Amino acid sequence: MTAPDWPLRTDRLLLRPFEADDLDALHAIHSDEAVVRWLYNDPRTLNETRELLERKIAGAALHAEGDWLGAAVTLRDTGELVGDLSLFWASETHRQGELGFVVHPLHQGRGYATEASRPMLAFAFEELGLHRVVGRLEPRNTGSARVLEKLGMRREAHLVENEWVKGEWQSELVYALLAREWRGGSAGTRADDRRY
């Protein structure tokens, strides 16, 4: 079992495991049409969010490849849940992972996804020992693309109309960051400047 040394702190945020009391705030995020526009799922019902929360509570640590690690992104000053951050352990052999995030629309555009992702990447590379972490998104999701670029990820692929999603052919951008790039400080901030 591998888990971050919860909670993870940044200047403005606290990342912690999900809790049962997060249901309403998580539902406000995952039931919003704008939030899920570029995800595979439609807006979630309350029962669907409850099932998601159960999986996220169970995902406070990684046990084996194929596991998702979930972090509730909260404001340090108020404790308000503003985002949902995930790290997927895609391959133990190839030391691969995938980063994912959603932020409540009322809190988008403030840099929270970028700020929250840095300590998760630190965990991925420095604790879990991953070699490569990717971020995948629909090209029209320009906000998420900016986050990945701010994190120092490079765009590696543009797959054109590779998936049928929500009644249309959608394309996919793949961004990636290597452990040596993270250690070298190309990840949007120097390694010794990170605060958590």
pLDDT of residue 114: 98
Q: How far apart are CA 189 and CA 196, in angstroms?
A: 13
d(CA 130, CA 123): 9
Q: Is residue 166 part of a domain?
A: no
- Collapsing DSSP states into helix, strand and coil, what is residue 178? strand
- 124, 91 in Cβ contact below 8 A? no
Q: 187 lies in a domain?
A: no
d(CA 20, CA 2): 22
d(CA 59, CA 137): 22
144/31 Cα distance (integer angstroms): 19
Grade residue 185 by pLDDT with cuts at 50, 70 and 90.
confident
Residue 110 makes CB contacts below 8 A (sequence gap 6+) with none
Sort strands 13-16 and 168-178 into parallel, antiparallel or unpaired. Answer: unpaired
User: Is 94 inside a domain boundary?
Assistant: yes
Q: Which range marks the domain in which residue 56 is found?
A: 8-133
Choose the weakest-confidence range: 57-61, 92-96, 168-172, 185-189: 185-189
Task: Give the integer Cα–Cα distance in Å for 178 and 134.
Answer: 9
Q: With contact defined as beta carbons under 8 Å apart, do 35 and 104 qualify?
A: yes
Given a cut of 80, whether residue 190 has pLDDT beyond it is no
The answer to the question of residue 162 being in a domain is: no
Q: Is residue 64 part of a domain?
A: yes
Q: What is the domain-level CATH number for residue 98?
A: 3.40.630.30
Residue 101 domain-assigned? Answer: yes
The count of domains in the chain is: 1
Q: What is the C-alpha to C-alpha distance for residues 70 and 140, in angstroms, rounded to an integer?
A: 25
Query: How far, rounded to the nearest angstrom, does the alpha carbon of residue 193 sit from its chain's CA centroid?
Result: 21
Phi, psi values for residue 73, rounded to 5° = -95, 115
Tens digits of residue pLDDT in 104-155: 999 999 999 999 999 999 999 999 999 999 999 999 999 999 999 999 999 9
Residue 49 parent element (H or E):
helix 46-58
Alpha-carbon gap, residue 176 to 150, rounded angstroms: 12
Who's near 42: CB < 8 A, 6+ residues apart?
36, 166
Is 34 a member of any domain?
A: yes
pLDDT at 167: 96
Residue 179 belongs to some domain of the structure = no
Q: Report the amino acid identity of residue 33.
A: E
